[in-house]
């Protein structure tokens, strides 16, 4: 090969490496951007009047007087559309009743003719009677036709109207004068402006999937709903709604930091994620309570006391095996051992979950503590031993303090790991819905936790699309917790390495 080519290849090789690094960075960005961007919208968003209503009625937050004033204005802005709906209902009823009275008139006339025809027959005037009967049949047919037309008219009017009614209720909340629905989610309209616009679109257009082309996937066809109400009192309704939606909902930029500290209402349709956050904190701290002493002591033993030999290398193999056990297997083990065998609690509980998680992070803590202890300069130890301190004394007063930042780094990283693990807590600690636990209840009660509820909300919740913002908010919170812990660890490590370099 020529020298130029070799040089070119060398550069190309460097290029490939740089591409790999770039791909990694881009992947990280691509994954974090939607989570951070849409996650932050759970906290900062345009809240409508309905959001303020939920806050006031469910969380006792906000100024009632100001709200009442605003709400009167909004009721005024909404009044025309409810009026139109009422008019439409009245109009429909009037039309139906006029058609019905027509039908009744024809029926009555037919009956009259029948009796008249019978009278004529008994008089022996068969010709005239036949004429009358023919007339009667015609009227009867007309009445029947009218009846079927009424039926048609009813379905043509009521079915779209019911759909519209439902869509409006979802958009603005229950109609004035309606009985308060039982479900909390039906008591309020859309609380967020972005969801309001989606729901507004659903009011304005009807959606249908067209599968007529069997080769391709279904195509979404949208038709303006106004077509269904051509020529009725509701015809101007849609334009009015579209033009005045802002006055009806009053979107206002809201900073809802209480998203983290609020309980959820009606399975996360309203409110925040406090039970999940608290559960995650309990589980993480619980895991640390068990894992830190065990891990640090094991590291001290392995570094300071153990003589390399068969037993120790066996121990090390066990530790690395423990590190390699898939997390779901930890979950099964926690179920089979902590819950089914030694029964630390009757049902799933934070305690069982913490114990399981502590086994999961144990190898990480042992390894990082070992590294930290080994990084303590030998001179420290020798100086302490030379001063006559015993081995235990040396460890406690010289080595551990010197290694503490390093050990803490490992602990913080494994806290992040424990906070984010889902598989081990599925069978041991997590439930989908629950109240925040008191500290003593953690011994016997299961808890909601961020990782599990993220899974649960985005796969099993009945209104997955409605609460995307809650899901993103949860993911954002979890990722923020974990990354902050890791950032802390990274900074701490940078300080240690600076110190060690002098």
Give the interface segment with other proteins, choosing from 81-89, 151-159, 171-179, 452-460 (CB under 8 A).
452-460
Calpha distance 395→302 (Å, rounded): 12
Q: How many CA atoms lie within 13 A of 98 on its CB side?
A: 5
219 contributes a contact to other proteins by CB under 8 A = no
Do 339 and 409 meet the contact criterion of CB atoms below 8 Å apart?
A: no
Total residues interacting with other proteins, rule: CB under 8 A = 95
146 contributes a contact to other proteins by CB under 8 A = no
Of the residues 110, 352, 475, 496, which one makes contact with other proteins according to CB under 8 A: 475
Alpha helices (runs of H) in 124-261, residue ranges in sequence order: 126-172, 193-204, 237-249
In the complex, what is the shortest distance from the CB of residue 146 to other proteins, in angstroms, rounded to a whole number? 50
Of the residues 232, 471, 473, 496, which one makes contact with other proteins according to CB under 8 A: 471
Nearest to 114 by CA among 93, 139, 92, 97: 139
3-state secondary structure of 306: coil
28 contributes a contact to other proteins by CB under 8 A = yes
In the complex, what is the shortest distance from the CB of residue 318 to other proteins, in angstroms, rounded to a whole number? 4
Give the interface segment with other proteins, choosing from 48-56, 118-126, 158-166, 414-422 (CB under 8 A).
414-422
Q: Structure tokens of 128?
A: 């005239």
Alpha helices (runs of H) in 173-186, residue ranges in sequence order: none
In the complex, what is the shortest distance from the CB of residue 2 to other proteins, in angstroms, rounded to a whole number? 7
317 contributes a contact to other proteins by CB under 8 A = yes
Do 132 and 113 meet the contact criterion of CB atoms below 8 Å apart?
A: yes
In the complex, what is the shortest distance from the CB of residue 419 to other proteins, in angstroms, rounded to a whole number? 7
Binding positions for other proteins, 32-51, rule CB under 8 A: 32, 34-35
In the complex, what is the shortest distance from the CB of residue 298 to other proteins, in angstroms, rounded to a whole number? 4
How far lies 140's CA from each of 96, 104, 281, in Å?
19, 10, 77
397 contributes a contact to other proteins by CB under 8 A = no
Binding positions for other proteins, 273-302, rule CB under 8 A: 293-294, 297-298, 300-302
How far lies 142's CA from each of 115, 133, 242, 250, in Å?
19, 14, 42, 53
Entry field: residues in the chain: 502
58 contributes a contact to other proteins by CB under 8 A = no
Binding positions for other proteins, 479-498, rule CB under 8 A: 479, 482-483, 485-486, 490
Residues 358-377 as x/- pattern, contact with other proteins by CB under 8 A: -x--xx--x-----------
Nearer to other proteins, 153 or 455 (CB): 455
Nearer to other proteins, 65 or 465 (CB): 465
In the complex, what is the shortest distance from the CB of residue 329 to other proteins, in angstroms, rounded to a whole number? 5
Of the residues 74, 81, 350, 423, which one makes contact with other proteins according to CB under 8 A: 423
421 contributes a contact to other proteins by CB under 8 A = yes
Nearest to 104 by CA among 67, 146, 134: 146
Alpha helices (runs of H) in 325-349, residue ranges in sequence order: 327-333
Alpha helices (runs of H) in 173-268, residue ranges in sequence order: 193-204, 237-249
Binding positions for other proteins, 176-215, rule CB under 8 A: none
416 contributes a contact to other proteins by CB under 8 A = yes
401 contributes a contact to other proteins by CB under 8 A = no
Residues 5-24 as x/- pattern, contact with other proteins by CB under 8 A: xxxxxx-xxxxxxxxxx-xx
* Residues facing 270 on adjacent strands: 265
Q: Structure tokens of 278?
A: 């608290």
Do 182 and 36 meet the contact criterion of CB atoms below 8 Å apart?
A: no
Q: Structure tokens of 409?
A: 């780094």
């Amino acid at each position: 090969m020529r020298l130029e080519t070799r040089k070119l290849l060398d550069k190309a090789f460097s290029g490939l490496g740089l591409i790999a690094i770039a791909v990694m960075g881009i992947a990280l960005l691509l994954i974090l951007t939607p989570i951070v961007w849409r996650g932050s919208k759970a906290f900062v968003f345009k809240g409508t009047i309905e959001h303020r209503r939920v806050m006031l009625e469910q969380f006792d937050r906000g100024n009632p007087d100001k709200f009442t004033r605003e709400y009167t204005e909004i009721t005024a802005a909404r009044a025309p559309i409810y009026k139109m709906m009422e008019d439409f209902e009245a109009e429909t009823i009037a039309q139906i009743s006029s058609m019905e009275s027509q039908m009744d008139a024809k029926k009555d006339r037919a009956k009259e003719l029948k009796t008249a025809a019978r009278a004529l027959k008994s008089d022996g005037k068969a010709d005239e009677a036949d004429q009358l009967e023919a007339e009667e049949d015609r009227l009867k047919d007309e009445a029947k036709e009218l009846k079927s037309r009424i039926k048609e008219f009813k379905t043509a009017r009521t079915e779209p109207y019911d759909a519209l009614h439902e869509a409006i209720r979802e958009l603005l909340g229950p109609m004035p004068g309606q009985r308060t629905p039982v479900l909390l989610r039906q008591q309020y309209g859309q609380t967020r402006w972005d969801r309001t616009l989606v729901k507004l679109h659903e009011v304005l257009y009807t959606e249908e999937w067209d599968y007529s082309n069997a080769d391709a996937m279904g195509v979404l066809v949208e038709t303006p709903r106004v077509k269904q109400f051509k020529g009725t009192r509701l015809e101007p309704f849609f334009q009015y709604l579209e033009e005045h939606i802002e006055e009806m909902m009053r979107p206002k930029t809201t900073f809802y930091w209480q998203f983290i500290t609020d309980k959820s209402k009606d399975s996360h349709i309203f409110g925040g994620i406090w039970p999940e956050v608290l559960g995650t904190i309990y589980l993480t701290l619980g895991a640390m309570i068990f894992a830190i002493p065990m891990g640090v002591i094991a590291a001290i033993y392995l570094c300071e006391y153990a003589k390399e030999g068969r037993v120790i290398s066996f121990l090390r193999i066990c530790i690395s095996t423990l590190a390699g056990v898939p997390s779901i297997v930890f979950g099964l083990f926690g179920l089979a051992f902590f819950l089914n065998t030694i029964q630390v609690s009757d049902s799933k509980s934070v305690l069982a979950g913490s114990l399981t998680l502590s086994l999961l992070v144990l190898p990480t803590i042992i390894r990082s503590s070992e590294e930290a202890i080994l990084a303590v300069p030998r001179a420290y130890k020798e100086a302490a031993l030379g001063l006559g301190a015993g081995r235990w004394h040396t460890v406690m007063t010289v080595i551990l303090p010197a290694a503490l930042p390093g050990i803490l780094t490992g602990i913080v990283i494994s806290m992040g790991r424990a906070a984010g693990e889902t598989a081990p807590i599925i069978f041991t600690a997590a439930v989908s819905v629950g109240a925040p636990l008191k500290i003593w209840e953690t011994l016997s009660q299961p808890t909601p936790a961020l990782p599990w509820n993220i899974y649960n909300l985005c796969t099993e919740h009945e209104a997955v699309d409605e609460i995307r913002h809650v899901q993103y908010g949860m993911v954002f919170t979890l990722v923020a917790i974990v990354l902050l812990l890791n950032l802390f660890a990274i900074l701490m490590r940078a300080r240690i390495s600076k110190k060690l370099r002098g």
